[in-house]
Chain A
Amino acid sequence: MDSLLLSQYLIAGIVIGIIYALMAIGITFIYSIMKMINWSMGEFYMMGSYLQYFLVVYFLGAHLWFVGIPLSMAVVFGVGMIIQRYLLRPMFVGEMERKDEYATVITVALMVFFRNLAVVLAGPNQFAPPDYAGPTHIGPLPVSGNRFVALIGTLVILGLFYLIVKKTWVGKALRGSAQNRVGIQTAGVNVLRVDQIAFGIGVSLAAAAGALLAPIFLVWPENGAVATMKGFEIIVIGGLGSIPGSLVAGLLLGVIESLGSVLISPSFKDVYGFILVLAILTIRPTGLFGERQRVA
């Protein structure tokens, strides 16, 4: 295997891995605060990609694509807040049993609903917004401008996310809720409001992934499915609830898929991720960075 080609695979894997991680971080972030898994995450990705497409093509124009991304995120943030308020919040009020099941049922229903809604509103066809940037190089790898933009965009968004969580008062409330849900309530903080913000932020990360990847992986009603699957693989590898875990696992998955598909056999690209998932589950069932559930 020639080393140039090898480094090309590596870089391709890293680029795609970081972008996958964005999705996983959204899922993990919501889980860490609300202790529920949002199975409709891919549909928020889908929503982000459609919003970006319509904003860029009908309102902003191709050169203002970068304005579209925060706008798409903001709209999806709002949609997420509304969904949390009216569909998810009721299950956190009172002493409801089996919250997990309710969350699963509701979010799976949302998944079906949003996919169908997309078909009804925009048809089954796929769209692509105009390219964000011309082709370029990362080291020896010729990459599309779109991928480069998605990589940089993801890093910027992750940077902002880090700042919000670490440096702001909202971030303190978010972290507090993740670390001790009962403690934060008795300290006077309204966890339901925190949940709402967390859900909004989590789904807007998915929307960011959708908007950034729109010209690369196109816009259509089921485009979130692949991203969601990768997101969940990453979470199993990195550990549910761990943000650094998601980042590391995203990179790992991207690189392993890229190398596995050319070094071993190209026909089972998706299988390499699953093999990694199985291996991790055997060795460390809680994932690389997952904590064992504390019994307080």
Chain B
Amino acid sequence: MKTKPKFFFGCLAGIMIFSLLLFSSGGSAAEPVKIGVMTPLSPPGATLLGQFILRGAEMGAEYVNANGGVLGGRPLELVVEDDSGTPEKGIAGYRRLVSQKNVSAVIGQVHSSVMIAVGDLSEKLGVPIFSTQASSKAITEKHLMTAFRTHAIDPDRAKMWLNFIQEMGYKRIALLAENTDYGLGLVDETKAGMQKLGLDLELKSFVFDKKVVDLTPQLLELKAWKPDLLIDIHSVPTTAYLMVKQAYDIGLYPGTPILASFDWPGRTEFWQNLGDKGNYILFISYYHPKMQLTERGEWFKQQYHQKYGEFPIYPAFNGFGQILILADALELAQSAKPADLIAALEKGQFKSWNGTVTFERGEGPYWHQWSPPLMVLQYTQANQSPEDAPILYPPEMKTGSYKAP
């Protein structure tokens, strides 16, 4: 019987090695400039966002390398790191990227809690880190030399929906918020914005734990409160889809409209998962397929469609854009040293996918912050593509009005 344990560990090792093989990928050629992509690729992180950002970043590197690379022909090489949406892993990952992989910059941050933790470390190690879709204003409010962002921040988002609420004439607003920096931050921002704008609204927040999949009890309570609008503040799409289903099933939605805090309803799987139940949802978006893109943005959109058979969505665009920004900044700095790169980032103007990006030393959270244009979209038909969803707000972009069920 002495051979049996060996047999086990044989099996075990086999399983492990196989799992690892499934995941590893090959490297590339000599003297590249390395850029880290640290993004959530496993739970409890928003793995989908991570996947899209990675796709965008990869095509960004392809674009740059196809156009002769940077710093006189050096290729860009991406080094991927999974932060799982948890600060501990983020810190470890950033350390590894900087000290072992010698990256010049890191992009891909999605979760505010991770970005805040990593931001402090980045200030010590000096390598710039980019929020690709982490929106807490605390990230840029600290005025760190190393933290940059090309994503809308909470005050932008809260201001957006407060204006929209005003236009729609809603009075009772339920905020269904996860108990994270993202969720609670937006609740505070909404309250502050309401005061600043002098609005007379009844706000009530319903806080839930991020990992909870069944929100039926909270939704029942929320329904009993009879709000005019439910603002959903989930950071993970999967559980957000479940929430919509559960709200539908207890008869809360679509009678009471739901406004999603970011563009998770814009993904194809939204309809796959929800079918007819998803119709009439409102969502904040930083991208509309009919919006005007830059030349680079247009290139990306077409290439992505060719490669993946679907059009890219915001996180992919933003991942792509940040790589191009970095490539331009490297050229401007004529150096791959992080300090030179930071100086160039503060100085330059960069062509991204949706406009010209600058990182100024602005006031409050508007430090190293570039906010993309925001809008409120609504689905007016089941299985509608985001392309056909009318833009309800802001007025200058408006293509339709709120459609009640």
Contacts and interface: CB of A to CB of B under 8 A. Distances in A.
- CB atoms of A and B under 8 A apart anywhere in the complex? yes
B67 interface: no
A90 B8 contact: yes
Contact of A268 (B12, B209, B214): B209
Nearest to B219: A12
A54 interface: no
Contacts of B275: 128, 130-131
A67 interface: no
Contacts of B48: 124-125
A158 interface: no
Interface string A31-55: 0000000000000000000000000
A120 to B, nearest CB: 5
B23 to A, nearest CB: 7
A147 to B, nearest CB: 7
- Chain A binding site: helix, strand, loop or mixed by DSSP? helix
Interface in A209-241: 216-218, 220, 222, 225-226
B209 A262 contact: no
Given A116-B19, A124-B51, A90 B212 contact: no
A91 B208 contact: no
Interface string A1-19: 0100100110011001000
B241 A126 contact: yes
A36 B144 CA distance: 52
Contacts of B382: none
A110 interface: yes
Interface string B39-71: 001010001100100000000000000000000
Contact of A261 (B217, B272, B273): B217
B216 interface: yes
Nearest to B179: A267
Nearest to B221: A262
A218 B237 CA distance: 12
Nearest to A136: B249
Contact of A128 (B19, B43, B208, B274): B274
Contacts of B207: 265-267
B358 interface: no
Nearest to B43: A222
Interface string B330-353: 000000000000000000000000
A218 B273 contact: yes
A95 B47 CA distance: 44
Given A128-B273, A142-B250, A269-B209, A105 B12 contact: yes
A262 B217 CA distance: 6
Nearest to B250: A142
A109 interface: yes
Contacts of B245: 144, 216
A189 to B, nearest CB: 22
A135 interface: yes
A188 interface: no
Contact of B22 (A86, A120, A135, A218): A120
Nearest to A146: B249
A161 interface: no
Given A216-B245, A218-B238, A266-B207, A128 B272 contact: yes
A266 B221 contact: yes
Nearest to B237: A126
Given A218-B242, A266-B221, A226 B211 contact: yes
A108 to B, nearest CB: 10
Contacts of B273: 126-128, 218
A255 B370 CA distance: 47
Contacts of B220: 5, 8-9, 12, 262
Contacts of A146: 249
Contact of B208 (A113, A142, A267): A267
Interface string B236-271: 001001100110111100000000000000000100
A147 B8 contact: no
A240 B79 CA distance: 46
Contacts of A177: none
Contacts of A184: none
A220 B46 CA distance: 13
A75 interface: no
B1 interface: yes
A143 to B, nearest CB: 6
Nearest to B2: A94
A90 B11 CA distance: 11
B22 A90 contact: no
Interface string B216-241: 11101100100000000000001001
Interface string A162-187: 00000000000000000000000000
B249 A127 contact: no
Contact of B238 (A8, A120, A126, A259): A126
Contacts of A268: 179, 209
B216 A12 contact: yes
Contacts of A270: 209, 211-212
For the complex of A and B, the 4 pairs showing the least CB-CB separation, nearest first, are: A144-B249, A94-B1, A128-B273, A267-B207
Given A87-B11, A124-B41, A128-B275, 12 more contacts: A96-B4, A102-B5, A113-B15, A113-B18, A117-B22, A124-B48, A126-B238, A127-B269, A127-B273, A128-B273, A135-B248, A218-B238
17 contacts: A5-B221, A5-B224, A12-B217, A13-B217, A16-B214, A96-B1, A106-B8, A106-B11, A112-B15, A125-B48, A128-B273, A144-B248, A259-B217, A261-B212, A262-B220, A266-B206, A266-B221
